Amino acid sequence: MLTFTLRRLILSIPTLLFISLIIFGLLQLAPGDPMAQVPLTVPPEVKQKMREALGLGAPWYVQYYKWLIQFFWIEPKVFIDYLTNTSALLGWLPDTNFYQDELRVISWQTRSPVMDIVVQRMPQTLWVVGLSYIVGIVIAIPIGIYSAYRHYSIFDQAGTFVTMIGFSIPPFFTGPLLIVIFSVYLGWLPSIYDTTHVVNDWESFKVQFYQMIMPVMVLALQTTAQISRYMRGAMLDNLNQDYVRTARAKGLREGVVVMVHVLRNSMIPVVTVIALGMPAIFGGAIITENVFKVNGIGQLLLTALFANDLPMVMTLTFIFAILIVLFNLIADVLYGLLDPRIRYD
Amino acid sequence: MTEQAIPASPVEADIETFGALVDKEPQKPPRSQWKDVWDQFRKHKGAVFGGGFLLFITLGVVFGPWLWDVDPKTLDIRNKNWRPIYTLLWESDAKAGWAHPFGTDQLGRDILAQMIAGGRVSMAVGWLAMALALLIGTAIGVLSGYFKRLDFLLMRFTDLVLSLPILPLTLLAVTLFRQPLNSRFGPEAGMFILIVGIIGLTSWMQTARIVRGDILALKEREFILAARSIGTTSGKIIRRHLLPNVISPIMVSATLGLATAIITESALSFLGVGFPSDYPTWGKLLADAVQRMQDFPERVLLPGIAISLTVLSVNYLGDGLRDALDPRIRGR
């Protein structure tokens, strides 16, 4: 298993390099000019110097190579320095001073390092996305179990219908719909997610809780629909197996049969699906963040795109790619760990 | 497989002597595969409704402009902000009437006409992108399933594309390539080509994997061996023997592809990177209406419901097709 994990880890390096090359190529082919916003009164030779200062004069492979160095060598150095200097977790370690003022990936919009902005935005996205995923799983699994156990019952039919709706209604419709119902007509929940809100007592926690309900539920609806379907399918496959009959025949209680024997075996494919669905949820977060005005990384990507901020776009898209590759790897490894029938050698 | 009467045997007299050999019941006419599929499909209520609704929406947006011949782009500023006709039920003095059954928007454009025009674009994008994805997916699936040399390369390529971040890349490509395509084909046709192309190019992977798996199993069967032994060329084998046998998984993934394409197009329009602003699509109408949804919630609801119902019906259709095309489930 360890060798398999290692092999997959090593294989993911060329994959990531290839993806970064594709993103980089797309950006290179793009006709957008970062100097388009500069006033016309600036003479062309000054413009040319500005372009060179942004690193645009060099051929594409030099630019790509420099980006690779910045992303995989300089940024980790900054990160390790941060860990050992200021973070609470590893602050007790001796200070490492790896970072020697090399050029980091600089955003063209703000002239500050891209990773600093990403680190500022990440918590908002992680809170909303992570919480919605957990909520979605917690709702989905009981629904899946019960509708498989009572196959073709009213509950099962209703559950199938609701999951079908969850599949079909896109988040950019559920979002405004919920806002119209709960913020406009009923006035219960705020329609905008306030990221500057600080939680320090019970009252402010309640405000935070209320403003998180809608974005989290919109994202959770999709997760719930997908996972409860897989859960139901996996349970149905297992409920007809011989070992279930054996378990019942030897007199185990129904609860033990379903919740221990069947559930444990049905969770194998479901856990994989949970891991695989994680990147898609980040993609969906781009839309949800736009609807509820959450300033997370999805919103950052959109503004960077519209502002033609290529280093930011490149880095963010690549972070999404890393997430996908990472969770694919996790899904594969988990599948092998959980299912002893799978052997990867 | 034709449904002709069984010819009377010339030796009928002989058979009558062996009474036990005579069939008591009249022989049933043989049934074709597609009749079986249709019978199974009819049993799935949701699928029949879904198929019917999809047909209705498609015909509605195709022939709608002849039935409701109001130009969706005509500005009529005196008759702006009409409410839909059903508001009269609870508010008798609302600005509404049969002249504009779904109301008008803030510039006085008729919303029903806009919905029909928007539906045309959304459905056209959906169908074309789905067709493109199926074409690429089937080609890659068949090639890598049938030719062993190509298999490794094509499947690694599929894996790579599968791990691309699709939505960010789509956003990226649309914003970056809007300008050159617009200048070459005009703002509307350029955007149409761009969106169909991008959705098609990023959603063929599942089809390719499914088709490859089926081809791998099929090509070891005896009928392929028989075809090859009489000297059938590879191209003929693929066209006449393999493709007809993988039509059912292709049809199922076609429905999935249609649903994804419609949602992706609407999402792009919603995020503001889709079609130009005076060119209605369902996603565009929804996105424009979000600003004023407190006052006019119906402008969000109508296109949203249109998108959701279409996708829902397509998903149900896919569900029914999957059951109907699977011979193991059929007849149960």
Q: What is the ipTM of this complex?
A: 0.79
Put simply, the answer to whether A180 touches B294 (Cβ < 8 Å) is yes
B287 chain-A contacts, CB cut-off 8 A: 172
Put simply, the answer to whether B176 touches A22 (Cβ < 8 Å) is no
Chain A residue closest to B310 (CA)?
A: A168
With cut-offs at 50, 70 and 90, classify the pLDDT of residue B1: very low
pLDDT means over runs of 10, chain A (345 residues):
83 86 81 67 79 72 82 78 71 68 75 83 84 89 88 85 84 84 80 75 82 85 86 86 89 88 86 83 81 84 83 86 87 80 65
With cut-offs at 50, 70 and 90, classify the pLDDT of residue B2: very low
Q: Determine the longest span between alpha carbons in chain B, in angstroms.
A: 92
B143: distance to nearest CA of chain A, Å? 23
Residues B10-22: tens digit of each pLDDT: 555 555 556 666 6
- What whole-number distance in Å separates Cα of residue A275 and Cα of residue A312? 27
- What whole-number distance in Å separates Cα of residue A16 and Cα of residue B282? 36
Chain B residue closest to A185 (CA)?
A: B294
Dihedral sign (CA A69, A75, A78, A83):
negative
Query: How many angstroms separate the Cα of A210 from the Cα of each of A112, A122, A223, B189?
Result: 34, 21, 21, 44
Residues B65-99: tens digit of each pLDDT: 887 777 777 777 777 777 777 777 777 777 767 76
Q: Which residues contact A141 (CB under 8 A, 6 or more apart)?
A: A227, A228, A231, A270
Residues A267-312: tens digit of each pLDDT: 888 888 888 888 777 777 788 888 888 888 888 888 888 887 888 8
Query: How many angstroms separate the Cα of A313 from the Cα of each of A23, A64, A310?
Result: 9, 14, 5
Place of tokens 């002597």: B17
Residues B170-212: tens digit of each pLDDT: 888 887 787 777 777 777 788 888 889 988 988 888 889 889 9
- Residue spans of alpha helices (H) in A70-113: 75-85
Enumerate residues 256 to 315 of chain B having a beta carbon within 8 A of any beta carbon in chain A. 259, 263, 266-267, 270-273, 283, 286-287, 290, 293-294, 297, 300-301, 304, 307-308, 311-312, 315
Nearest by Cα to A222 from A296, A168, A145, A269? A168
Residue A62 Cα to chain centre, angstroms: 31
pLDDT score at B130: 92
Place of tokens 């600036």: A42
- Residue spans of alpha helices (H) in chain B: 12-17, 33-43, 45-67, 111-146, 148-162, 166-185, 187-201, 205-218, 222-229, 234-236, 247-270, 282-290, 298-325
Chain B residue closest to A169 (CA)?
A: B308
